[in-house]
Every structure is written in C-alpha cells, then in structure tokens.
Structure 1
C-alpha cells in the first residue's frame, strides 16, 4: 500500500486564516470544493479551458482545476466567489450580473465574476475591449450569453465602483404599473447563481451521505464491434470497490425506449442498451460500471476491466451506412429505417425544364455540432423512504425520461422519481437520457446512493450531437417576375446508432427547407440513417439549422442568378396573405415583410460600410438569412400544471418546466404574475419549483421551444381557475385564510393542448405548428484572403416572437444563438474523436470570436392566438439562421460559397480557388 503524503499550509481564504492539509498534487479546486465546502467554485472542463473554476491567488486570476497545491505557497491569499459577496450583501459585480441578465444557466457566472474582480482590482476604468481581452486571456468561456451582457455588467459595476454612478443604478426598478411582463425583471435564481450558492449536480453530490458510491464507466474505444467477453475479476478485487456491474446486473429489458410510435418506422425503438450486452454501436458505449468508495478508486478499477471485442466495419457517415455492401448495424433493422416524402402542388420536374425558368442547386453537408455545455453531465440515484427510486440529473424531460428508462430497468414509471437539478446548460442534448439509467441501475444493484460525474472527454464522447444532413436541393424561379416556382430536395440524416427523435428530426427537413417563402410546388424526400458515429440528439434549432443551410443558400444564389438584391428577392417571395408553408399550412402570422422593411436601412448602411472598408487583403461582406421555426411539438402538444395557494398569500408553481439556462424560472414566474395581476400577488411571493416527476404532473419536456407557449398556457389556465374560485362579490379576492375558512380549494389545476396536426406520412402535408417564431439576421464579416480566416464584425437581428415575457431572458437567448451560430458557421465540429473531444479541439467560440457589436429589434404587434398573452417561443427560432447570415456574408465578401460546415479557413480557401 502506497503512502498518502500530505502537506500542511496556512492560507488566507477569503480573508480567513485557514489550515489546509492536502496532497501536493491535489488540485486547488478539489481542496476548495471537497475539503473546505466552498462549492461556489465550479469545475467544468477540468482542463483549464473554460474558466468556471477561476479564483484569485495572490492577486492573480488562476484556473483552480489545473493549479496543484504544490504551487500554492504558504500564507497565500485566495479569493473565491464566496469572498466576493453573498446573498444580502452583493458586490457591485454580482448586482450588475443579475441586472444585465449575465447569469443564464449561471454555471460559469462565479468564475466570470471572480475573473472580472481580478480585472477591476488592477484597472477600475476598463474599456469594453479591455474586458474582452481579459476574458479571452483567462479562458473564461460562456455557452449561453454571447458574452455581450457580461461585458455590459462589468462596465456598469466599474462605473459604480469608481463612484461615477450610484449603487442604486444596479438595482431593478419596478414599473409603475406593477407589471413585470415585458420588462427586464431579473431571474428569480439570479442571486443564487451570482453568489455561487445555487447547488448544481456535482455540488449536491458532495452533500450525499457518507455511504454514497462513486460510479466509473468502462467504455468502448471503438465504433463497432461484437462483444466476445468482459472479465471483471481483477477490478472486483481492487481497493474500495463495492461492485462491478455488467449487462447481466440490469434487472429489466436493458434498453432505453426510443419513442417509436409510427408504423412507418422500420425499427421497434428498443435498440439502445443501458449497458451494452452483445455489440458496441458507437465510441463511448458503456460496457461495465464500477461502483467504489471514491472516484479515484472507481476510475482505477475501471481500467482493470478486460473487454474482448471482435471489430466490425465502422460506418461513420450516412453515405457509408447506405452503401449496398454495408451490414445492418442493428441486425433485423435496415440502416435506412425511416423515410418522409413531401408532395406539395404540381409535379416539379417539368417546371425545371422550362426556358423562362432560372435554376440553382447544390449539395450540402452540415456538421456534427457538439453542444459543449460548461457543466459536464452529472447524475445520482438513491432508494427513497417512499419506496421510489430517486434519480437526480440534468434531465429536461423528467416525466418522459422516467417513461423511457423504466422498462429497461425492470420498473414502471411511477416507481421512479426523476428530478431535474439546477443545471449548467444543455442546449437540447438532455432531451435524451444519458446518465439516468446508469445511476439508477447502480443504486438498485448496490442498495446505496450512487453518483456519476462525467469527465469532459466523456461529455464529448457519450452524449448526443447535432445530426449532420446530407442534402441535394434545387430551386426554380421565373426569370421575369423573380417569383419562386418550385423546389426539389433529397436528404439523408446521419443520426448515429440510436433512433430516439430521429423520425421527428427527419420531418424537420420537409417542414423547414425553404421555410419563409411561398413555394407552390415541392417534391422532397428525407430519410433517417443509422451510423456508428455519435448518436443524434436534440440541439437548439433541431433540424431547422440544417434545413436553413440549404434553403437560404439556394435563396441567396437565386437572387444572384436573377441579378437581384438578396434582401429584395426575399421581400418579393416571403410569406404574405395566401402563401403556404412547405407542408401546405397557412402561416400563423404574416411577420416577414415587416421584418425585412425594418432591416432594409441597416442592410443598406452595412453594404455601404463593407464596400468602403474592403481591401484587396481583407474582403468585407454582408449576409442576411431568414429563419422560421415552430414553437411546440408536432401536432397536439399538452401540458398539465397546478398552482398552490400558500399561507402567506403567495403561490407555489407545480409545473415541471425544466430550466437548463433558458429561463424557466422567469418564464413561469412572469407568466403567473401577469395572469394573477388582478390579485396583486407580489412577484417575490410567486415561487418557481424544480421539476420532479413524483411531485408535479407532466408538463412535457423543456424542448421544441414549447414551454412558454404550452406550459405557459397551462399556467394561465390554472391562474384563471384560481381567480374564478377566489373572487368575492366586490371584485376583490380571498386571502389564503379566507379561502380555508370558506372551504375553498387552495390547489388549482391547469392544462392546455395545442391544436396542430402531424404531417401526413405519405405526402408530408399538415399543420405541425400553430405558433411560430420569425427572425432575420444581418451579419458583416471580414475574410482574410491569404489565409481564409473569417471574422464576424457585426450582427443585427430583427425578430417577431410574439409578446415578450422577459426581455433579459429573450435578449440572452438571441445573443447566445448568435454565438452558437457563429461557432456552427466557422469552427465547431465533432467528426474526429481524438481531435474534437475537448472544447478547444471542437472549436468552442471564446469571446474574441464573437462581436461586441450586436443589436436586437423586436416586433410585438403580431400577438399569437395560441400562446399566453400573445407569446411565442424564444429558445430555438433565433438559432436556425444566424450561421447562414455568416455564410452568405462570406459569399458576398469574396465570392466563396460554402457547401460544407463549418467554414474553416481551409474550406474557405478551397471555395475561393473553385
């Protein structure tokens, strides 16, 4: 047995002299979090690439996850977020962070705030560029905000700290009418996020009882193989090991249900193992789990599990898996397992042959974009004293996930209490179960609480990605009038080895290729393809991103083919009265002409500026892109909620509206406050509660931009029921005590169902969405001709999202979409496992890649019939097109048309040559 050598040091942590006993190679972050319980310091990547763990060490900002204790000298001064400020005594930076909406998911906020304090300690009058350079230098990464609100917050805090503005300027001022709907009211969770006191999954894991076990995964390091044997004998004898689990230890079906319901789907939906038993289907598949007393012991033992495999051909793209000689990845199910045609209007083939018709076409490949949240996946499970298996995770679909994993674990959904922890962003990947079934199996097998924390490598290799589309498409327009006449497309979706949501994703192609334009005649075909690359998961702008890549390229090229201005060509062809969507539906509102009118002067100014500033070495250009996306799941979409009247005359919201950074807290509170305005309930007495499938009725997942529309409408219905029950003859409302005395109910149910129709499986026609989001982006770029490097200089967005609930939240969604769209356009990819399995390797956009010059203009005159107070969604509509405004701007700048994402310098140079 090796000795564990410790060193004792006297440190001053947040001004308090503290004796610390630690191993020399221990990480400072581990000592702070696990020994000193200073969990405000978060650990994201664990590799020094995200800055979530930033602390100030002897006056310098350092990343504590890569700072070993042997580098921390005796009597060192350390400041963590707990030393910056606390609830009730906030630092100006923390106040500014809340006021400016700089904490969305909030996981990176403590690191940014500590880093910003380090800047203001040495420079109390920074410029915006100073702040941006500081965050870039210290690798402070944010996936949610687009960085602009963070810079705004630092500038505002610095002004107060210099004495140039009163501290009251950092406090929200309640509107005179008492309404917070449409205001910049800070999120209810903001104070907890900016002080580091909100417990995320790993923080809660540290608070589990001492008998908790740590789980380590034994994962496949090949893409496709038969499993010959798994030898766990050596691992079982390792120190601290309580159990080594394989597929034989799973009590149920050992499969996660992929939600297959259509008879047109050629698989049964049960192809994804919890623990793989017969085959490896993708890199990262779980072959065994080790449960041990410490994480280090679990990981050491996992390395000693011996797996014997028979390698099989790996099909890492849709074309490979569709080849005639390709074997079935799931025996008995063809690799092409779902198809969706589109037949709209007249036959298109004759139209393309007419002499007076202009035709443009292209072959497009979108990227396998990784979600890259700052917080890696984390989950824990335990058996409760209520005889339920409790699973806590980053789930954004607590009821749905309980249903998807129950049978595989040998349970029924009502025996699982699946709770959503406060979480550091998911951007959709957590619409798929990841760690839930694994920790559930571990807890059931060992009888002890079990915690699983992914490393960032595991986050990248064992969570879903945006599925690439391989699209061939062409478009026809009348040469004289410039009106679109027809479109044809054929596309294949590389959805990885597991089918969940694959058919829905494939249907997005027929819904959104060409969306925004009146195209009377369309013929299309989409197919879902099983491959051995990373499984396809939901990602913000699900399917719309890939569809718009093809559609907005063709629109842009058609304008050029006809010699027309790209904005004016869009203006002529966009939705107006009498137009129909690609699936033959009537648009819910006519928003695009107004948005294009608003964008026109900005576009003209941008065209003049880029022409003036362009040089032979650096070409500048302008691109625009139209985006349309549905708010809600296809067809009928339902939510159930309740509101509980509390004894202090406030209300607690019983809705499983999961919050992964998009703002479920303010979405639910803002909607309820507006609905209960006649009762005069103060906003601070409207209480958001974290989702738990055992405590709240099913409101559906926080995906598909459905929550504000569908869950918000259900909350509105519950509020109406409450006011109807408690209204007095004089028009006032009963207090809680009065309601109890009158034997009135104190719990009020609400439900809502949208009224769409699923697209016909044979024609593709239908009305899948009755509420849509409309955005148009304008981007200006600079292209370095010698290298192919692209820099985005400015972005403007005009948006019709219906009535805006909370401007901070919606601004943040759009800024975040711009940043993710720029990453999608220029840098982000996950094709090469070795190259792309870190944030930097996968092309994460840090602040230097995102312009500070971003502006948003909203139009709220088109109130939605199907949405509370006229609202639509906000999370995904703004994501479907920012990348295309960048790609179109590259074309405008230098003539290079990109047909494969991302537009890396190499691809830009290649396009320039062609």
Structure 2
C-alpha cells in the first residue's frame, strides 16, 4: 500500500491505496466520485476521462502509483453541479447530447480539456479531438455532441449569452412536438445519475462480489465440475453450481409458435450437462472481494468432452452435424410465406427476373456500459433483482421457474442503464445474480468485464438469404421468392419470431402481389441471437433493397424511378397481406428526388481516378409492436404535493422513456393546466409498476404512450373543476375523488398465420434513405459523406429524442455496413476489434426530414415509434452507393477495405 496526497476538483485528498489500482477505481471506490464511469476498462471508450494537470487522460488504465505529490485531477463533479451547471453541461441538456448518458461525463470532461486549449475549434476539430481521444458514443451519432460543444464554446468566448442554452417554455405552454429537455438530462450531464456499477458501490458491506466460471470452448459435454480447491481460497463464501439451483435451472425462451420443434427450455442458468457456446456460465464464485472471487474462479476445474462446434447455419445444417440440443433438430423452426398466386408460373413468364444471395452478419451491440446487476432478499422475503433489463415483467416470467421461485416472490427492477440497443430483451445475468443470492442468502453483485460483455451477451442473428424478383418490362414488380436461414446461436428464445420478421420485411415498402418464401431458424454454437435494434429488418432489407437496384439496372431504369413506381399506394399490401395504415412513400420520394439528383451530379463532378463518389437509395419500414394484440398499462397518480407521477414500466435504455412518458402525459393533461415541471416518471419495478411490456420493437410510444394517454384522460375527467383547473390533492381527497387513474391499451392487431399473413402491427414507421459515399480505389476504404432520411414516424413527441434516435441509428447502420462484426470471438471482443465507429467514422452531415401529415389512428396524438426505423436500411443505401461509385456489389457485410479491393479485382464479395 502507498499514500497519495493530491488535489481532486480543487480539494486536497489524502488516501492510502494499492499502487496497482487505477485512478478510476480510487476516484470511484475510495473517494465516491462515481461521475467517472468505467466502460470498456481498456482505454478505448473514454467514459473514464479525467483531466490531470491540464491533460486529458483515461483513468481506467492510469495507475494510481503514477500520481505525484500535488497533482491536480478534475472530474465531471468539478466541472459543474446540478445547482450550478457549466455551459458545457447546459449545452448537453439543450441539444439532447445525453441519450443513455453513460458516456456523457467522459465527453464533457474531454470537451472541457479541448476548450481549455482551443477555445474556438471548428466542428471538424471537435470531431478530430473526440476521435483521437477515443470518446465513444453508441447513441447519438455524435452530431448533438458536436452541436453542444460548439454552442458552449461560443458562451465561453462571450459571443453568446449563457441564457440561450436554457430551455424556454413556449407561450402556449405546450411541449409536445418541441425540444423540452429530458428529465434525466441534468443528472446525466453532471454524473449524478447512478448506473448499475454506481449502485453496486452503495450496497451493504455484506454484499458478495461475483465472478463467473465460463466456458472457453463453444461446444462440449460436461463430465465433472470440481469446486473443492476454489472453495478453500481466501474470501470465498460459496461456489454456486447447477446443483444449488432449486428450479428447472433453465431460462424459458417463451416459444412463440406451436410449429417450433423445440420446447423453449434450452438455455441453462448454469450449465449442467453441456456447454453450448463460448462464455456459457458453469459456476459462480461468491466472495468478499471481486479480486478474491476472480482468483478462486481460476481454481474451479471443469472436465469437458470437446464436441464439434458449428459456428454458422450452413455448418449446423449439414447432414452429419450433431444435434446441439439432443432430441431437437438444429433446424427447429420453419416460417412459410405465401401471398397471392403461385409464383412459379410468374417467374417463368415474367419479362425480367433477378436473383442474388446476401449475408448480413453478427453485429455486436457494443454498448459503452457493460452488463451489470445485483440481487438481494427484501425484508418481506422477495428476491429483488436490479439489472439493465428492458423487459422487466417479461424477464420475471422467463427466469422464475428456472430459479424455483414463485412469480409473486420475485421482482425485477430496471436500473438507469448505459444503452442496450436490444441485447437486454434477453435475460443475461438476472438469473445468475438471483441464483447466487438464493444460494447464499446474501446480496450479490456482478459486473461483466468488457470481454465477458462482448462474448457472452447476444448478437444480431446472421441471415443467409437467396432472393428473387420478377417484374414486367415497365419495371412493375410481379412476384418475389425468398429462401433464408437464420443463424440464431444455441438458444431458441425469440428465434421463431425473428424468422417471421424476415417474412414480414423482405420486400417491405413495395407492392408485391405474389410472394413465396421459406425461412428456417437454425441452432448453432456461435453467440446466441438476441434482439438488436430493427430486429430482422436490416438482414431483410439489405437483401431486398440491393436486389431492387439490380432489377433497376437490368431494366435500364433509375433506382429512384423503380422505387417510386412500386412503393405503397392505396390498394397495395405489404408482405403480410396487410394494407398500410398510411401512404407516405410517394410524398417522401418526391421530396427526396431533388436531393438525389443533386447528389448524383455532385458525385459525378467530384469523382477522380482514385476517389470514386456514389449515391444509393433504400426504402425503410418497421412495425411498432410485438405482433398481434399487444397491450400496455400505465397509471397517473396525483401526489400530496400536487405533482403528478406517471407510473409505468417503460424501460429506458437510452431511447428516452423519461421524455416519452412526460411528453405524452403533458399533452393529455393540458386541459388541467399542469406544467411539465410538475410531472414525474418512474423507473420500472415489477413489484410497484404495472406491466407496460418490454422496450423493444418501437412499441412503447405507441402502446405505453396510449396507456398514459388513457390514464391522463381519466384524470382530466375525474379532477377537472368547473373553471377548468385541476383539483389539488387536498380537494380531491375532500371530494372523495380517486387520485390514481389506470390506463390500459391494446392494439387491434392480428398475428400472422402459418402462411405469414395477418395484421401484425397496426402502426408502422416508414422512411427513405439517401447515402452519399466516397470509395478510395487504392485502399478500398469507404467513407460516408452524407446521409439523408425522409422519415414518417407520425406526429413527433419530442424533437431532441427523435433526432437523437435517428442520428444514432444511422451511425449504427454505417457501422453495420462498413466495419462491425463479431465472427471471430477473440479478435472481435473489443470495441476496436469489432469495428466500433468513432466520431470521424460518422458524417457530420445527416439530414432528417419529417413528414408529420400522416398521423396514426392508433398512436397517441398521432405518434408512431422511432427507434427501429433509422437502422432498418441505411446500410442498404450505403451498399447501393458503393456499387454506384465503383461497381462493387457487396453481398456479405461488412464492406471492409479488403473486401472492396477484392471486388475491384473482380472477386464476388
């Protein structure tokens, strides 16, 4: 141990530390300054940034023994507080630069260091600074962040009043459709919002720290587990194995369709008989410190019989492949699609046909905050589990039977979380911390390292697609045929639903009267398939949108023209046989055309022998909901202090549940004159909040938004006085009026039948992407110069939220197109290795044009969702732009430089 005396935020600190500890650990665990976050833990993400003696450093890799007497450290807490915000923090709030907010303190500290040395940076210099210093954001697409820095810099230079960074309520008092800041924005910008690891530091002293014993192979039989040596290690309280789990020791995959050949009980909480993928949890070491737990985990001996590992759908489908789950075939679900007349004769007689194969791969979510959670027993005997769950009620029922706990004896809580983008639609650690707490009777805390986070949590499931179009000589689509295989990893949860998404979204956006398709869900030994933003549509639309350009080329038509000819109009139906609820495509395409024509001329003018410019289009479409009659519930409660709390389980993984709830409630409560500052929201807790359903499929603004609207409408009816004002709490109680109002809402959807026909969503999102790219023919590097999205998401609740969602989704689409991959488990297990897009990888020029004259009948105040739309097909527009630029059709993503060079050399890529 060593003594260190230094200054933190202007205050002298005197601490006794382990010299090998990082500065981040000392700041967080010994000094309680949890505004400094630890994300990747390897210096790749910048969430741990602090300023040391005027220089920006990454405190997660800076050893405390390097601190010298009198050094000065500045953390986010030293830049500003909720009571006295720095202009940077005010700007972050104003421009919506904090979405999930986990990376925000690191960015603000980094921006402070930049402006201290360069008070008048250009936008390009700001982006360069963040890029070089590895400040990573997965939510925003960086544009709101750069906006915030530029505005704050103006204030600090005296060129703009600080008051211009503050929100002003419009004269009419209405916030719907405006830029009201998120209720959590100030806490995120000041580092005062506690995420999972921060809450872990506030647990009782008796809390056990957990370390997992995990598989380092992808497929094996377990012959024995020996914990005896580990149990003797210092500080170990217990080593938990499958023998300690009292229930089924399985997480139910909630099989969606009866034709699924699996039973849904295929994922073990702790492996007992087999290992199914790399990283599978075999045992949990519970100890007094994390270090002791990790040391003991190394001593657990697992005797394995290694089996062949099937790391792709084609490998698992081979005739000689073993059944990964004995008794269940590796192809365990088949999704058929039949619409209109038989397609065979149509293809035989059609004037033009095209056919091609495509692959969209295993995109990693790459959240900045790794997975984290904890559990404890409450005083009344309830097992309470806190995590990053985005489906609190859903997960409760998925893990309770496996743990052997009745549903009324377990509760799940969604912590403030640093993004999930869908991976937390699946339980990841909930059952593990629950099993450890049940086995030890102690509070238990578990935080994955970034390697564990990348290797053990789910990924986007790859699609192997063959697709065909038939058209007449004028380019009107006559038929489509699809044949595709979904590599869903070893666990079946939601795999059938994902395969259905292929049937719903291949060819979406176009009126295709006759369709035949077959999709298969395949069990493999690669990373399990979990939800990822735009679940199923990126794989589907990449295939159908690139093939649409191939059809246009074969017909000698312009890509814009063929889309305009075939897009949805009255009388058209989507692949599910459902007539769209609105017809916005023609207007969006017409509005896009002058931009498209200008982009083509610009590309032609600016192309050189080395730098080839190109443009590409793609239609975008996604449904809002979970298929069929989806439901939600929310409450509006008048409090004794005359504020109103909107009680729901609308989980917020960065997309803006706080603003979604407040914006919708305020609009519904406007007749009562309740100002937005009097509205409160809740963090989901299954023991205290109603079942609002999971935050996935862009369903919450529609479903829970409507439930909130209904609850608030009931409150208006119940508490409105004759003069139009609202009763106070005291008046309501005196008048015998209820102060709690329940809102329930169910959409009238119809689940798809065995032929894929139905009305799965009553609200959709529609869009058209335009990508402008440069291809360096010497290096193969593709740069996205500009992205444009014509977006129909119905009426907009809040512009800061929807702009941010679209910027961030497009950024993830650029990553999917050009760099992101998780095929090689070891190589792709870091942010850099997996191709994370940093600031300069994303264009500073992203244009969003909203079309709000298509209000949704079943959306609250006409709103649809937004989250899935921006990642449905930007990568397809980029793929088409690459071909337009240099003639390389990328069939298998990502389009990394070596692939472009191979394509330029004549290879099929």
What's the TM-score, normalizing by structure 2?
0.99
1:573-652 mapped onto 2 (5 Å cutoff): 573-652=566-645
Q: Does 1:572 align with 2:565?
A: yes
Shift of 1:344: 0.7
Indicate whether 1:834 and 2:826 are aligned: yes
Matched, 1:466 2:460: yes
- The secondary structure found in structure 1 opposite 2:60 is helix
Q: Which moved more, 1:710-719 or 1:260-269?
A: 260-269
Which of 360, 363, 367 aligns to 2:361? It is 367
Question: Does residue 398 of the first structure (1) align with residue 396 of the second (2)?
Answer: no
1:742 equivalent in structure 2? 735
Partner residue in 1 for 2:236: 241
Q: Give the Å deviation of 1:835.
A: 0.5
Gapped regions of structure 2 (runs ≥ 5): none
- 1:3 aligned residue: none
Contact 2:358–2:891 (8 Å) recurs in 1: yes
> Is 1:198 matched up with 2:190?
no
How far apart, in 2, do the equivalents of 1:663 and 1:731 lie?
A: 31
Provide the C-alpha distance between the structure 1 equivalents of 2:903 and 2:83, rounded to a whole number of angstroms.
Answer: 57
After superposition, the C-alpha distances for 1:545-591 in whole angstroms (9 at most, x for unaligned) are: 10001110111111111111111110011000110101111011001
Structure 1 residues 787-837: Cα deviation after superposition (integer angstroms, max 9, x where no partner): 211011111111000000000000000000111000000000001011000
Match of 1:483 among 476, 479, 485: 476
Distance in 2 (CA, whole Å) between partners of 1:9 and 1:463 is: 38
Structure 1 residue 786 displacement after superposition: 1.6
Q: Which moved more, 1:15-24 or 1:537-546?
A: 15-24
Give the aligned partner of residue 374 of structure 2: 380
Tell me the equivalent position of 2:682.
689
d(CA) in 2 for partners of 1:670 and 1:401?
27
Which of 390, 407, 410 is matched with 2:401 structurally? 407
CA contact (8 A) 2:507 2:541 kept: yes
CA contact (8 A) 1:782 1:791 kept: yes
Whether the aligned pair in 2 keeps the contact of 1:708 and 1:872 (CA below 8 Å) is yes
Partner of 2:815: 823
Q: Name the residue aligned to 1:120.
A: 115
1:500 matched to which residue of 2?
Answer: 493
Aligned to 2:129: 134
Structure 2 CA distance for aligned equivalents of residues 80 and 47 of structure 1: 19
Alignment equivalent of 1:179, drawn from 165, 174, 182: 174
Q: Distance in 2 between matches of 1:666 and 1:616?
A: 49
Q: 1: CA distance between counterparts of 2:430 and 2:7?
A: 40
2:151 equivalent in structure 1:
156
Q: Distance in 2 between matches of 1:754 and 1:813?
A: 24
The residue aligned with 1:562 is 555
Match of 1:63 in 2: 58
Is the Cα–Cα contact under 8 Å of residues 312 and 487 in structure 2 kept in the other structure? Answer: yes
- CA drift at 1:482: 1.3
Q: Describe the SS at the equivalent of 1:65.
A: coil
- Give the Å deviation of 1:730: 4.1
1:535 matched to 2:528? The reply is: yes
Following superposition, which runs of at least 4 residues in structure 1 exceed 6 angstroms of deviation? Answer: none
Instruction: Please give the alpha-carbon distance, in whole angstroms, between the structure 2 residues aligned to 1:286 and 1:56.
Output: 38
Tell me if the contact between 1:51 and 1:138 (Cα under 8 Å) persists in the aligned partners.
Answer: yes
* 3-state SS in 2 of match to 1:301: helix
Q: Do 1:656 and 1:697's aligned partners in 2 also have CA atoms closer than 8 Å?
A: yes
| Counterpart position of 2:795 | 803
SS in 2 for 1:66: coil
| Shift, 1:641, TM fit | 1.3
Residues 9 and 75 of structure 1 are in contact (CA less than 8 Å); yes or no, is this contact kept in structure 2?
A: no
Mapping of residues 25-40 of structure 1, within 5 Å:
25-40=20-35
Deviations 1:677-711 (A, max 9, x none): 01111111110110000001111000010000000
CA distance in structure 1 between the partners assigned to 2:158 and 2:322 by the alignment = 71
Question: Are 1:855 and 2:847 matched, yes or no?
Answer: yes
- Does the CA contact (< 8 Å) of 2:671 and 2:724 recur in 1? no
**C-alpha distance in 1, partners of 2:618/2:256?**
35
8 Å CA contact retained: 1:827, 1:902: yes
**In structure 1, what is the equivalent of residue 516 of structure 2?**
523
Number of the residue aligned with 1:673:
666
Q: 3-state DSSP class of the match of 2:604?
A: helix
Corresponding residue of 1:91:
86
1:655 corresponds to 2:648: yes
Matched residue SS, 1:329? coil
- Structure 1 residue 654: deviation in Å? 1.1
Q: Is the 8 A contact 1:55 1:111 kept in 2?
A: yes
Tell me the residue number matched to 1:549: 542
Give me the whole-angstrom Cα distance separating, in 1, the residues matched to 2:870 and 2:861: 20
Distance in 2 between the 1:456 and 1:244 partners? 23
Matched, 1:897 2:889: yes
Cα distance in 1, alignment partners of residues 388 and 643 from structure 2 = 28
User: CA offset at residue 263 of structure 1?
Assistant: 1.6
Q: Does 1:772 align with 2:753?
A: no
Is the Cα contact below 8 Å between 1:54 and 1:115 reproduced in 2?
A: yes
For 2:633 and 2:787, the matched residues in 1 are separated by 39
Structure 2 counterpart SS, 1:702: coil
Partner Cα distance (1:252, 1:23) in 2: 42
The Cα shift of 1:175 comes to 1.1
1:261 Cα deviation after fit:
4.1
Are the equivalent residues in 1 in contact too, given 2:286–2:436 (CA < 8 A)?
yes
Say which is worse superposed, 90-99 or 636-645, in terms of deviation.
636-645
User: Could you list the per-position Cα deviations for residues 723-764 of structure 1 after superposition, in whole angstroms to 9, with x for gaps in the alignment?
Assistant: 111223444332211110011101111100011111112x11
Corresponding residue SS for 1:814 = helix
Secondary structure in structure 2 of the residue aligned to 1:698: coil
CA-atom RMSD, angstroms?
0.8
Q: Contact 1:649/1:681 (CA < 8 Å) preserved in 2?
A: no
Alpha-carbon distance, 1:448 to partner: 0.6
User: Which stretch has the larger CA shift, 671-680 or 259-268?
Assistant: 259-268
Q: How far apart, CA to CA, are the structure 2 residues paired with 1:536 and 1:722? A: 42
Give the Cα–Cα distance (whole angstroms) in 2 for the partners of residues 392 and 499 of structure 1.
24
Partners in 1 of 2:290 and 2:814 — Cα distance?
A: 37
Residue 502 of structure 2 corresponds to: 509
| SS of equivalent to 2:283 | strand
CA–CA distance in structure 1, aligned partners of residues 202 and 92 of structure 2? 27
Q: Does 1:358 align with 2:317?
A: no
Aligned residue number for residue 260 of structure 1: 255
Aligned mates of 2:749, 2:81 — CA distance in 1: 47
Please say if 1:912 is aligned against 2:904: yes
Answer yes or no: is the 8 Å Cα contact 2:256–2:497 preserved in 1. no
Distance 2:513 2:293 in 1: 60
Corresponding residue for residue 7 of structure 1: 2
Question: Following the alignment from structure 1 to structure 2, what is the Cα–Cα distance between the partners of residues 679 and 57?
Answer: 51
For these two proteins, the number of residue pairs brought into alignment is 906
Answer yes or no: is 1:52 the counterpart of 2:52.
no
What is the distance in 2 between the residues matched to 1:94 and 1:21?
Answer: 32
What is the alpha-carbon distance in structure 1 between the residues aligned to residue 735 and residue 759 of structure 2? Answer: 46
SS of the aligned residue for 2:322 comes to coil
> Is contact 1:471-1:489 (8 Å) kept?
yes
User: How far apart are 1:912 and its partner, in Å?
Assistant: 2.1
